[in-house]
Amino acid sequence: MIILLLRHGEVKEPRRDALRRVLPYLDEVTLISPRSIRWDALTYHRSNASYRLLIGVCELIVRGLLPTEDTGAARLSEWMSDDAMSRLYERFLRQYYAFHHLELSPGAPTIAWDLDSPSLFSGQLPAMQTDVTLRRGGRALIVDAKYYKQNLQESQYGKETIHSGNLYQMLAYVKNEDTEHDGSVAGLLLYARTDAGAQPDLDVVIQGNRIGAQTLDLNQPWASIAARLEEVLDWLHPVPEAVAS
């Protein structure tokens, strides 16, 4: 990956210098053809799980820089599936908060169903695996990362709304996590922003819990992306009066 970046004309000279300084530390590493890497065959376990995001970024860079027979710039969606991008986006969000906000206990826990009573017949209930859960002062925020070509669904009458399945899923997560039924759990669907005119912009209270759908523009300078991710933490505060009313 470093060699590819050094050979790429759009990499600025200060970054080239930084990459060249890293090369001596990798002198014993054997070079291989990027086309020979079987990304889908890589496996992760407890010992190397922390490298998963880094490997995903490497795949993104390598695939994007390999020459093709096509002319012009290619969009990511032409060579990387929505599922692969969604997994990378999810890990990026989780790693950001794990790096910058350990005090919020960031993680991806599984939410238990808030059953009225224990049941021997609950084994077929699906698992509720969160993407990112943050906690502070008795409050929790569940963030679900969404990466789609189209962030809104359109009815037969042309009305654009939040994807029903996404909203129902988040509502199930929040209501089952809020076992005290005190509104201390909020849920946010965070979509990767597209170039469509209409984008998710939802902020409501449903049965006492704040539920929303907003976007993160990944086509912005890092400072803007980080500032937007910091704004997300406002959802850990009690429900604003304007939203509650």
Q: Please state the domain extents for the chain.
A: 2-78, 82-118+126-244
The Cα 163–Cα 34 span in angstroms is 37
Residue 213 tokens read as 């759908």
Tell me the chain's radius of gyration from C-alpha atoms: 21
pLDDT at residue 82, rounded to an integer: 67
CB 103 within 8 A of CB 97: no
CATH topology of domain 82-118+126-244: Trna Endonuclease; Chain: A, domain 1 (3.40.1350)
Average pLDDT over residues 173-179: 97
Which range, of 65-69, 96-100, 112-116, 213-217, averages the lowest pLDDT? 65-69
**β 185-192/209-216 pair status:** parallel
Number of H helices, E strands in the chain: 7, 9
* More confident position, 50 or 203: 203
Span 107-157, pLDDT tens digits:
999 999 999 988 888 889 999 999 999 999 999 999 999 998 889 998 888
Closest CA relative to residue 211, chosen from 154, 147, 180, 167: 167
Please report the pLDDT score of residue 65 as a whole number: 55
Please state the rounded mean pLDDT for residues 184-192: 97
Q: What confidence score (pLDDT) does residue 119 get? A: 83
> Quick one: average pLDDT of 14-23?
87
Averaged pLDDT of the chain:
86
Alpha-carbon gap, residue 148 to 89, rounded angstroms: 11
